[in-house]
Structure 1
Amino acid sequence: MSQPALTKRTSWQMIVTLLLFGFMYFPILVLAFYSFNASRYSSRWEGFSLRWYESLLNDSRILSSLQDSLFVAFCAVGVSAILGTMMAVGLAKYRFFGKGVYRGVSYLPLIIPDIAIAVATLVFLATLGVRLNIWTIVAAHVVFCLAYIAVVVSSRLANLNPHLEEAALDLGATPLQAFIKVLLPELMPAIVSGCLLAFVLSMDDLLIASFTAGGGANTLPMEIFSRVRTGVKPDINALSVVLILFSGALAFLAEYLRYRSDRRQFRQ
C-alpha cells in the first residue's frame, strides 16, 4: 500500500474515532458545564456558581438515599467477594460432574438483561413470601456482583503458576495454609479490582433496586430517577458530575491494580 493511501486511511480512522469519542463524552462535558450554572433552569446560563454543589450537602433526601446506596453496595460487595473468590477457585482447581454447566449458569448474570433479573428476583421473592426491604436489594445485587468478581478472579487464576500451592504443600503447609498464605495474596489484586468494579455497578443500578425495594428503601439512582421525571434541574447536574468523578476514580483504581498485578505476574 502506498504512503499517500495509508495516510488517507489513517486520517479517516482518526476522524471516525474523534467523532465517536465526541458522541460519548460531549454530553458529559455539557452536563458538567451546566452544573456550575447560577440559573434554576438548565437551558439558560446566568453565570458561574457553586450553589448547586452546596445544596447537595443540605439535601436530606439525597444524603439519605446515598446512605442506602452505600449500605447496599458495601454489603453486596462484601458477600460477593467471599463467594465469588470461592467460586472462581473451585471452578479452577476441582473437577466435578456438571462443571461446565455450573460455570455457564454462574456467569449468566453478565449477559442477562437487568430487567429480566429484576422481574425474576421479584417473582422469586413474592413466591417465598419475603417482604421487600433494603436487604432484598442487597440479595439481588449479590447475584450480579458475584458474577463480576468471579470473572475477574478467574482471569487472574488462569495466569498463575499452578505449582505454587503444590510447593507449599510439599513444604508441610496444610491446604488451608497454602490457600491463605500463598494463593490468596496472589489473588488479592484481582479480588480488590473486582470488588471496585462491582461496587460501581451496585451504586449505579436502578432497575433491580426499583423492583426489589420495599417501603423506606430508596437508593440514589431511584432518587435521581424520581426527580428527573419532572425535568432535569441544576442540582441533578451537579450530583451527576460528582457520581461520574467518583465512578471514574474507582474504575481507574481497579484498572491500575489489574495492570500492576499483570506486570508482577509477567516478571515472575
Structure 2
Amino acid sequence: RMAQDTLERKLVELFRNAIEETGMKNVAWAGGVASNIKANMKIRHLPELDRWFVFPHMGDGGLALGAALFLNFKKNGVWKYKFDNVYFGPHYSEEEIEKELKASGLKYEYEKDIAGRVAELVTEGKIVFLYQGRMEFGPRALGNRSILAPASSLESKNALNLKIKKRVWYQPFCPTVLEEDCKKIFEDYDYIERFMTMGFMVKEEMRKEMAAVINVDGSARPQMLTTENERYRKILERIKKATGLGAVLNTSLNLHGYPIVNTPKDVIEVMKKTKNPYMAMENFFVELE
C-alpha cells in the first residue's frame, strides 16, 4: 500500500511539473509503469490535463510498433495515427480452423448466429471461449482471444478462476461494456477507453450487476466497445437485450502462466486441458461431449 501511494504521489508530481514546464496539456504515456491502473486513474483526474492517452501495449513489447511508426515517419513523413483498435496480429481462415477442428476430434458445427449462441450461454451463467479475427497486439484480450462470463455472477467468476485462470483472490477480472452503457455504469466516465488501460469507478447502484468485474474499492478496468469489433459487439448487444445491460466479464484466453493463445491449435489445446465445454471459433461452435 505504501509503495503504491508513493508511486501515485510521485507520478502526479512528475506530470504536474512536466505540464508546467512545457505548457503541453495533451499527454501520451507508455512504459512498464503505465500498466499501473490505479496510478493512471490519479493522473487522468489532474485538472491540468486536457487530453490523455495510454499506449495499449505499454510495456517493452510495444517498442516494436514504436520502431515501425518511427521508420514510417522517417521514410514517408507520416506522424499521426488514430488507434481505433489493436487487432494487428495473425488471422486464421475458417478453412484453417476447420482443419484443426477435424484433427482434434472435438464435436463442432457451423453456426449462422454465433453471436446469439454465445450471448445465450453467457446469460445462462456459462463460461465461453471466444476465438476470432486477428489477434490483439498487447497484453489485453479485447474480444478476439477472450474468455467470456457474466459480469454479474460471482459463481461464474469463481469457477473461471478455479478451473482456468488460477489467480490470487484479490486480482480482479475486467469487463467489456458497450460504450452507450458506460455513463449508466461509471461515475467518472469522461472518454472512451478501448484498451483496458484505465480504471473507472462503478456507481454504487450498479455494483451488483458488475459484481464479477470490480475491485475491492469499487473500480473496474473496462474495455469500452464502440464499432471496432462487429461480432463482439453483436454478442454484447444480445446480452443487453436479455439482461438490460451491455456488459460481460472478459479475460484473456490462456492458461495460467502462459501467453494468450494465437493459433487454432493453441486454443483447442486449452479447451481440452481445462475441459471448458463451450467455444466459438469464428462461425464454428465447439462443445465438449
- The structure, 1 or 2, with the larger RCO (C-alpha pairs under 8 Å, 6+ apart) is 1
Using structure 2 for the length normalisation, give the TM-score.
0.22
Q: From the two aligned structures, give the one with the greater helix fraction.
A: 1
